[in-house]
């Protein structure tokens, strides 16, 4: 037998196994690379034999052979394989490149970079979910043609709500009569929100309805854990306007956004209302002025005066603007009565140092630096954590601030508004007493007067 014939003989591999020639080649390669002792040849050979992977079965040539192959697979293996294929299919939708170029306005912040900052503040969704969520938000932004921001996550009893935020395209309330029931883009409906329970499915995003002031007022008076079903009824007292969990989620998001979204002082500018028909608004400051600003140092970021509220406050009436005057029958605004004060929201761009509660003026924000202590450096991250809404965090990186909320959607009991209490019954009426006359004397019932009827004259 020649050398080539012997080599071909050793290369002949049994069905589903490895040839002797390949096994010897791998064993000798391991001995040389590991510089092992020759006495360990058998041990290395046994280890390589245990790691050998059988070659896969050839593909079925026809549908009949495929069906025979599926029938030979155990039911447990087929169910597991189907689950794996379903999982891979759901994730594959996110990795398909778009056929059309997305609009320039359809931008999404770099969520993986923001997630690294959130981890320093103790908030993490996991790397896998973060990346899948980032891809899903990019597809949502391309579909809507508008910038999308990851707002946060609301924990529910049956799956969690991932929330995305974008600016409202059309003003839902432009006329005065509509503004009496709902504020438009100048109020809590400045943004439109989408929720999804599966970040890996781009088609699972659902748009939430706009919020009304009545819903915000009642949402502050009730405490309710979310069920995870947007169509679930909200049974509460006082009755919640709208009646569905989708409305309650939207009202909760409006309250959290108004109280916890922060920015750095000098990066935003407020335009206050000069006339009755104008609105107060918060817009980005001049780009040249912001570019000329120096990035705040770590010590400056630890000062509460450096952080300001980036959104308008919601008053006790659930509004971000002054309450508009109702219209009369003639179409003219009805002026309020003397002494009647309408609630107004707080001043825009107020620093978080003014957020206090109680007579002791307990602050509602905690500023932390990470790494701190011995690890403190010029590159340390400073974040603000809300005590009113546990789970709300704002992290500063240079001049930019990244905001996120991950929680139950419930405010802290010590800082929330007073819970609703049924009104007490009216005081009991006193016993009846006769009224007084003009001189202040009691009026008593007069005595009965008996008058005899006149006698008729007798005829003669």
Q: Where are the domains of the chain?
A: 3-50, 111-328+345-407
Question: Where are the extended beta strands (E) located within 119-216?
Answer: 149-154, 161-167, 191-196, 206-207
Is the per-residue pLDDT at 71 higher than 70?
Answer: no
Residue 267: pLDDT band by 50, 70, 90 thresholds? very high
| Residue among 226, 256, 207 at smallest CA distance from 159 | 226
| Mean pLDDT (whole number) for 66-93 | 70
Question: Where are the extended beta strands (E) located within 198-315?
Answer: 206-207, 262-264, 268-271, 281-284, 307-309
Placement of tokens 């707080």 in the chain = 346
| Residue among 279, 257, 261 at smallest CA distance from 270 | 279
Position with higher pLDDT, 278 vs 374: 374
Long-range contacts of 244-248 (CB under 8 A, 24+ apart): 246/206, 246/208, 246/209, 247/209, 247/211, 247/215, 248/215, 248/219, 248/224
Position with higher pLDDT, 243 vs 256: 256
| Mean pLDDT (whole number) for 106-135 | 92
| Enclosing H/E stretch for 392 | strand 392-397
CA-to-CA distance for 415 and 403, rounded, in angstroms? 21
User: Cα 30 vs. chain centroid, distance in angstroms?
Assistant: 54
C-beta neighbour count of 304 within 10 angstroms: 17
CA-to-CA distance for 171 and 189, rounded, in angstroms? 8
| Mean pLDDT (whole number) for 233-257 | 94
Residue 73 sits at the vertex; the CA angle it makes with 68 and 75, to the nearest 5 degrees, is: 125
Average pLDDT score over the chain: 83
| Residue among 327, 156, 164, 330 at smallest CA distance from 257 | 164
Tens digits of residue pLDDT in 170-218: 888 777 667 778 898 989 999 999 999 988 888 899 999 999 999 999 9
- Strand 149-154 and strand 400-407: the pairing is parallel
| Residue among 364, 366, 391, 394 at smallest CA distance from 381 | 394
User: Cα 179 vs. chain centroid, distance in angstroms?
Assistant: 25
For CA atoms 138, 142, 148, 154, the dihedral sign is: negative
Q: What percent of the chain has pLDDT over 70?
A: 81
| Residue among 307, 299, 318, 271 at smallest CA distance from 403 | 307
User: What's the residue count for the chain?
Assistant: 460
C-beta neighbour count of 386 within 10 angstroms: 24
| Mean pLDDT (whole number) for 157-179 | 87
pLDDT at 70: 53
Is the per-residue pLDDT at 10 higher than 80?
Answer: no
- Strand 262-264 and strand 307-309: the pairing is antiparallel
SS3 label, residue 8? helix
pLDDT at 336: 64
| CA distances from residue 276 to 18, 325, 326, 339, 342 in whole angstroms, order as listed | 86, 10, 13, 19, 14
pLDDT at 190: 94
| Residue among 442, 424, 447 at smallest CA distance from 432 | 442
CA-to-CA distance for 455 and 396, rounded, in angstroms? 109
Using only C-alpha atoms, the chain has a radius of gyration, in whole angstroms, of 37
Is pTM beyond 0.75? Reply is no
Q: In sequence order, which ranges of 202-353 are alpha helices (DSSP H)?
A: 213-219, 245-260, 287-292, 298-301
Tens digits of residue pLDDT in 331-375: 666 766 655 566 678 889 999 999 998 888 899 999 999 888 777
What tokens appear for 460 in the block? 């003669």
Tens digits of residue pLDDT in 411-451: 986 444 566 677 788 888 888 776 666 565 666 677 888 88
Cβ-proximal residues to 367 (8 Å cutoff; 6+ apart), any chain: 301, 302, 304, 307, 382, 383, 384, 385
pLDDT at 55: 43
């Amino acid at each position: 037998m020649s050398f080539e014939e012997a080599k071909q003989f050793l290369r002949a591999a049994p069905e589903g196994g490895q040839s002797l020639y390949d096994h010897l080649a791998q064993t000798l390669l391991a001995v040389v690379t590991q510089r092992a002792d020759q006495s360990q040849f058998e041990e290395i050979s046994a280890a390589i034999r245990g790691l050998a992977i059988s070659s896969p079965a050839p593909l079925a040539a026809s549908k009949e052979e495929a069906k025979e192959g599926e029938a030979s697979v155990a039911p447990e293996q087929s169910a597991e394989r189907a689950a794996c294929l379903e999982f891979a299919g759901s994730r594959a939708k996110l990795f398909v490149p778009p056929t059309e170029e997305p609009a320039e306005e359809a931008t999404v912040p770099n969520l993986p970079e923001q997630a690294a900052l959130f981890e320093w503040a103790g908030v993490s969704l996991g790397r896998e979910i973060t990346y899948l969520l980032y891809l899903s938000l990019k597809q949502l932004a391309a579909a809507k043609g508008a910038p999308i921001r990851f707002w946060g996550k609301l924990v529910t009893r049956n799956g969690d709500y991932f929330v995305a935020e974008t600016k409202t395209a059309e003003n839902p309330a432009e006329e005065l009569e509509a503004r009496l029931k709902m504020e438009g883009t100048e109020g809590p409906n400045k943004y439109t929100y989408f929720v999804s329970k599966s970040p890996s499915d781009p088609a699972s995003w659902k748009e939430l309805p706009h919020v009304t002031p009545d819903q915000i007022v009642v949402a502050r008076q009730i405490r309710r854990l979310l069920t995870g079903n947007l169509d679930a009824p909200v049974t509460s007292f006082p009755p919640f306007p709208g009646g569905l969990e989708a409305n309650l989620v939207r009202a909760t998001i409006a309250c959290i956004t108004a109280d916890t979204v922060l920015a750095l002082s000098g990066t935003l500018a407020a335009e206050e209302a000069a006339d009755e028909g104008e609105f107060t608004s918060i817009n980005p400051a001049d780009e040249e002025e912001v570019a000329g600003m120096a990035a705040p140092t770590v010590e400056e970021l630890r000062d509460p005066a450096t952080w300001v509220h980036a959104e308008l406050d919601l008053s006790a009436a659930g509004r971000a603007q002054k309450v508009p005057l109702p219209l009369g029958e003639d179409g003219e605004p009805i002026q309020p009565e003397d002494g009647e004060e309408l609630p107004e929201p707080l001043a825009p761009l107020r620093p978080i140092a003014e957020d206090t509660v109680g007579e002791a003026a307990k602050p509602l924000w905690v500023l932390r630096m990470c790494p701190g202590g011995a690890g403190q450096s010029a590159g340390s991250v400073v974040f603000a954590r809300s005590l009113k809404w546990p789970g709300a965090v704002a992290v500063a990186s240079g001049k930019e601030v990244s905001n996120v909320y991950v929680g139950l959607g419930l405010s802290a009991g010590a800082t929330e508004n007073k819970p609703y209490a049924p009104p007490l019954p009216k005081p009991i009426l006193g016993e009846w007493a006769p009224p007084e006359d003009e001189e202040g004397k009691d009026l008593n019932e007069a005595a009965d007067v008996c008058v005899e009827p006149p006698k008729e004259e007798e005829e003669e």
